[in-house]
């Protein structure tokens, strides 16, 4: 059986852990099936690629604390990898990871704050070469 290989663009605009996790797991699953995957982190999503802030992402921060804590506990019980670990897997397995050059300074960050493997997107070519060329564009 022949694998169907897709060119996939995934945009993550959130720093809520459940949304970030969904983006990262989707990206990793598609990458491991042979797709070419580009992740773009914009808006609050840039917090997910910050070396320190990625460790502090919360599930359901707009809900009562008990709900978010319960989700985090279940994730631990299931022995799921952390967002930080998923970013490392994506980097090592060949995903392209890009940060929005507008949102990085807006959130007081620089390239030095990024986890390994993240580069600044080129606004002059990003949409033309990544988004328009993609077989699938997914947003989280």
- Whether 117 is in a domain gets the answer yes
115 near 51, Cβ under 8 Å?
yes
Residues paired with residue 96 on neighbouring β-strands, in sequence order: 38
Say how far residue 96 (Cα) sits from the centre of its chain: 10
Looking at residue 50, what DSSP letter applies?
Answer: B
- Whether 63 is in a domain gets the answer yes
- Whether 75 is in a domain gets the answer yes
SS3 labels along 60-126: CCCCCHHHHHHHHHHHHHCCCCCHHHHHHHHHHCCCEEEECCCHHHHCCCCHHHECCCEEECCCCCH
- Whether 50 is in a domain gets the answer yes
- Whether 106 is in a domain gets the answer yes
- Provide the domain limits for residue 67: 7-139
* Number of folded domains that form the chain: 1
Q: What is the pLDDT of residue 5?
A: 84
- Whether 12 is in a domain gets the answer yes
Would you write out the chain's pLDDT as a tens digit for each of its 140 residues? 667 789 999 999 999 999 999 999 999 999 999 999 999 999 999 999 999 999 999 998 888 889 888 888 988 899 999 999 999 999 999 999 999 999 999 999 999 999 999 999 998 899 999 999 999 999 99
CATH number for the domain harbouring residue 87: 3.40.1260.10
42 near 105, Cβ under 8 Å?
no
Q: What is the pLDDT of residue 134?
A: 97
- Whether 120 is in a domain gets the answer yes
- Whether 1 is in a domain gets the answer no
pTM: 0.91
139 near 13, Cβ under 8 Å?
yes
36 near 5, Cβ under 8 Å?
yes
Q: What is the pLDDT of residue 40?
A: 98
């Amino acid at each position: 059986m022949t694998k169907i290989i897709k060119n996939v663009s995934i945009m993550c605009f959130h720093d809520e852990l459940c949304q970030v996790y969904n983006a990262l797991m989707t990206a990793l699953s598609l990458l491991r099936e042979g797709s070419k995957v580009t992740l773009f982190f914009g808006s609050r999503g840039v917090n997910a690629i910050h070396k320190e802030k990625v460790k502090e992402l919360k599930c359901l921060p707009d809900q009562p604390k008990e709900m978010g804590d319960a989700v985090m506990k279940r994730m631990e019980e299931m022995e799921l990898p952390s967002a930080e670990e998923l970013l490392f897997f994506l980097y090592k397995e060949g995903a392209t990871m890009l940060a929005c050059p507008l949102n990085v300074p807006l959130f007081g960050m620089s390239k030095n704050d990024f986890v390994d493997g993240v580069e600044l997107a080129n606004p002059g070519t990003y949409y033309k070469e990544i988004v328009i060329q993609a077989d699938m564009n997914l947003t989280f």
